[in-house]
Structure formats: C-alpha cells, structure tokens
Structure 1
Amino acid sequence: MVHEHAPRGAQGTAGEVVVRVSGVGKDFVLRHTRSLKEALVWLVRGRKGDLANHFHALDDVTFDIHHGETVALMGLNGSGKSTTLKLISGVMRPDRGSVGVRGRIAGLIEVGAGFHPDLPGRDNVYLNGAILGMTHEEIDARFDDILAFSEIGEFIDTEVKFYSSGMYLRLAFAVAVHTDPDVFLVDEILAVGDEPFQRKCIGRIKELVARGKTLVVVSHDLDLVQQICERGIVMESGRVVFDGPCREAVTFLRERNR
C-alpha cells in the first residue's frame, strides 16, 4: 500500500507521467447495525456474519496520466470514480496497489474540505493554502486575487460555519486555483455554485489547461467534460472498462447504459 508524492513544486515535462495508479484496490466496511445494543443482540443470536460486509469500491484499477493531459473519470453512481479521485488527492489510501503523484496537487474534492468552521474566511484562506502547499508569503501575494475571485466580499471576516454551501465553494475554488497546481482535481461539487460562478470556474479551468496543467475531472455532465477533456476513463463496479478519447468514452458510457 503506497501513496507517493514528488516534492512540492516539481515541474512536469511533456510526456512525463505525473499520476500513476497501479493495481489499486479499495474496500469499505458496510455495517448493518446502528447501536451497540443492536450489535449485541445480533451476536447473541449468532448473526455475527451479518454485522458487516465488505464493499469492493475499486478492484485492480490501473492507468497513467501524463503531464498536460485533461482526463475525465466517468461512470454511474457507485462506479468508483470519486473514490479514485480521493486516492489521487491523498485524502484516502489504497488497500492494495499504489498511487503516485508528481508535483503540486490541488483541487476541489468536497465542499469546505480543509476549512475550520470556527475560523473566519480570511484565516481559512491561509489554513487551506498551507494545506495545499503554499507558503505564507505566497498567500499574502495572492490574497487579493483570491478574495476578488471568490466574490465573498465583507464575509471574508465571518466564520465559515455561517457560509452557505455556495460561499464555501467560491472560497475553496478561489484558493485552489491560485495555488498554481501542477495537477488540478475537480469533483462534482461545481454543481453547487450558481450558473454565473460555474461559468467563471470553467473559464479558470480552461486557463489552467491552456497553460499546460494536468486536469482530472469527475462529472456526470458529459457535454461539459467533452468541452474541457481530451481523454475519458469510464469506470463500472470499481473497474476501468474504457480508456480513450473523451468523445468515444462518452459514446461508450451512453450506449452502455441505455
């Protein structure tokens, strides 16, 4: 079980592998009881085997992503795409196989991840920026741009526990895109923002792509991923079932699930 990151700030070159997922498996335990009392009753009745079972979220997932690639992870709910993204980000570790990432990685996996609810937005910018590998000086230099992009305004000095999910998203996205990541990850949470902010986010993502950054996206919006991604990896029941040009991946997924 390995999850490796190259040193922060490592710069990729064309053709270089920046994300390597090799033989990865991930299991989760599904428990069927909600209280200690219920669990004891089941044990007394000899139903120990029914207390929990293992769900294989990922099974022998293998692929490489090269510097500058734009990749969409696709599939129905429960296919394993978001779990894969979390393994790449380092939020979770694989139970089997290895995940290697080269360079600075940033992105939006969950709304408000890395934020402390009792701190104001201003302090959370510094906290989240540090988590994503930025120095205090780098955050100082980019703070005004982060604030402007987020459109939070005077709420920057309000505790984030009072933020709406949309405000969380604005600030989290603003911090993430200003870290100047080598690998940028985006999960479905773009759907939380309103339409104007979604357009703004997509525009910023396209800017990163134009600058040669590596992009990995999880989305059910197949029309959107075709706009911004060149490659599509389709997952089903925790396995990769298609890996190729994005438009072909979208066609494969739609035909597979008619």
Structure 2
Amino acid sequence: MSSNETAPTSEQIAADARQAAVSDEIAIEFDHVTKTYKLYKDDKQRFASIFWGKKKRELVASINANDDLSFRIRKGEAVAFLGSNGAGKSTALKMVTGVAYPTKGTVTVNGHVSALLELTAGFDKSLTGRENIYLRGQALGFTKEQLEELVPKTVEFADLGVYIDQPIRMYSSGMKARLGFGFAVSSDPEILVVDEALAVGDKKFREKCYARVREIMEDEKVTVLFVTHSSSAAEEFCQRGIVLDHGRKLFDGTIEEASAFYEAM
C-alpha cells in the first residue's frame, strides 16, 4: 500500500464481504404490486361493505399505499427503503412478512422472515410468555428441534424473570415488546426486516437490542430490509437503496446514489 492510500475501515471491509457473499438467487421479488386501502365514513360502513353491495356502503376514498411497485432483492443483500412518512415503506414490508397481501401483482419471498415491526401481534393473552413462544414458533412452521433451541434463547434475551411463566394479560406493553423482540432476534432469520424507529424497554435493554440487530445485519448470509428516514443510518448498514414516494419507486441504486437522491427531494 502506498503512502497516499488509506487503509480500509472495518465498515468498508464488512461491506465488501457482504457484497462478495451476495447470491444470484432471488430472496424477494415484487412484480407490479399495488396495495389499495379503502377508507369508509365510519366503522358501520366498513362492516357493511363486507356483507352488502355498493348501495349499502359509503366509500370515502381508495388509497394506493403501494402503486405498481416492482423490484428484486438477492439473497445476502442489505437494502434500505428510504422515504418520508406515507411513502409506502411499511406497507411493502408488511407484505414481505405476510401481515398484508397485495391487491394486485405478486409478492415472492424465499426464506424464513423475522420482522422487527409489530412485535406484539399474535400473542394469546391467556397463555404464558413461554407458551406464546411455542405458539408463534409452531405457527411459523418451526420443527420440535428448532423450538427446543429457540425457546431458551428467547427467554434469556427477553429477561422477564418469573413473568415468563405468567399469562400475557399480566404483562405491560413494554414486557410484551421485549418478548416479541426476543423471539424475532433469536430465530436465526434468513431475511431480517428492521424498522429503525423501533425502541423497546429501558436504555440498557435498547442497547442490548441494537447490538443484537447490528450483529444479525453484519451476517453476510442474511438478507436485510431496513426502513429508515436517515441516510446516514442506511449507509452504515446497507449497500443498496430504494427510494419510495406515495407508494411508487422513484430510485433504485447504490446506497450512496439513493441517499443523494433522497436528500435532494
């Protein structure tokens, strides 16, 4: 190395390693995907829309949260979704996780997904924390052997003490979030979906959460989708950026190019 050259940073080395590990195999594909939400005057009209025709319902508006959205993400890529509130980032990732489904188009996902989005969704309040780990794992198709490894890891990470064997109805919202986060980061995902706005528990536990997310995101074998408003955060973790606005894709390229495009908007 010449005296004029600078040594690569640890971040650059990690980025190069991830780029080299990117496979040609497709992890996620959106093919002309549109997600439409219908807005009604009130809950009665929304309920009526399920059972009766147009004459019995009063539709206020239809909004395309995602509008003819197409992209491919290869296994091992780390991709940031950039955009302001209402750009369609969260809607797209909900379709990746299976929480929502497209109105038009096709979403293809190849691999086990772990999402740090809606942590407490799907818990049964009558079951204990430990029982809910088993329930969620079985719902995701985990084998008995996988559950035997997953449960103690989740229990240890959530650090709920004796409450782990108490019904969820006794948990505070923070305790439920800790359990949900512990499950998400202990399940060894092939695809990790992260919302940077996520904040769980007290300062000490948040630091523990961020450290674990960073560890997963640095694994070159894991495909990462990162939702953010911050270009600097995106550049730290990702090599590619997709800029969304009002549900449409405006730009797709390197993270440096995507950040510059987003900042100029």
Helix, strand or coil for the counterpart of 1:248? helix
Instruction: Give the structure 1 partner of residue 109 of structure 2.
Output: 101
User: Cα offset for 1:219?
Assistant: 2.7
Q: In 1, are the aligned partners of 2:32 and 2:105 still within 8 Å (CA)?
A: yes
Deviations 1:168-209 (A, max 9, x none): 222112112222221111235623444333332232223223
Instruction: Give the structure 2 partner of residue 172 of structure 1.
Output: 180
Q: In 1, are the aligned partners of 2:22 and 2:77 still within 8 Å (CA)?
A: no
Helix, strand or coil for the counterpart of 1:84? helix
Deviations 1:205-251 (A, max 9, x none): 23223332111122334433332222221110010111122233233
Deviations 1:43-102 (A, max 9, x none): xxxx98964321111111011111111112121111111000011111111111111011
Which one of the candidate residues 130, 133, 136 is aligned to 1:125? 133
Deviations 1:1-54 (A, max 9, x none): xxxxxxxxxxx9722111011100010101123546xx9xxxxxxx98964321
Instruction: Give the structure 2 partner of residue 42 of structure 1.
Output: none
Larger CA deviation: 150-159 vs 220-229: 220-229
Which one of the candidate residues 225, 238, 261 is aligned to 1:216? 225
Gaps of 5+ in 1: 1-11, 40-46
CA separation of 1:249 and 1:194: change in aligned 2, threshold 3 A: farther
CA separation of 1:224 and 1:191: change in aligned 2, threshold 3 A: farther
Instruction: Give the structure 2 partner of residue 20 of structure 1.
Output: 29
Instruction: Give the structure 2 partner of residue 86 of structure 1.
Output: 94
Instruction: Give the structure 2 partner of residue 141 of structure 1.
Output: 149
Larger CA deviation: 232-241 vs 152-161: 152-161
Instruction: Give the letter for the 2:263 counterpart.
Output: R
Determine the C-alpha separation between the residues in 1 that align with 2:210 and 2:234: 10
CA separation of 1:122 and 1:229: change in aligned 2, threshold 3 A: same
Instruction: Give the structure 2 partner of residue 243 of structure 1.
Output: 252
Q: In 2, are the aligned partners of 1:104 and 1:133 still within 8 Å (CA)?
A: no
CA separation of 1:104 and 1:34: change in aligned 2, threshold 3 A: closer
Deviations 1:97-138 (A, max 9, x none): 111011212222313012112211011111112223322332
CA separation of 1:232 and 1:110: change in aligned 2, threshold 3 A: same
Instruction: Give the structure 2 partner of residue 228 of structure 1.
Output: 237
- RMSD over aligned Cα, in angstroms? 2.4
Instruction: Give the letter for the 1:237 counterpart.
Output: H
Helix, strand or coil for the counterpart of 1:167? helix
Instruction: Give the structure 2 partner of residue 8 of structure 1.
Output: none
Instruction: Give the letter for the 1:134 counterpart.
Output: F
2:83 equivalent to 1:75: yes
Helix, strand or coil for the counterpart of 2:91? helix
Q: Size of the alignment, in residue pairs?
A: 236
TM-score for both structures, normalised by structure 1: 0.82
Instruction: Give the letter for the 2:60 counterpart.
Output: A
Q: What does 1:148-167 correspond to in 2, within 5 Å?
A: 148-167=156-175
Gaps of 5+ in 2: 1-20, 49-54
TM-score for both structures, normalised by structure 2: 0.80
Helix, strand or coil for the counterpart of 1:244? strand
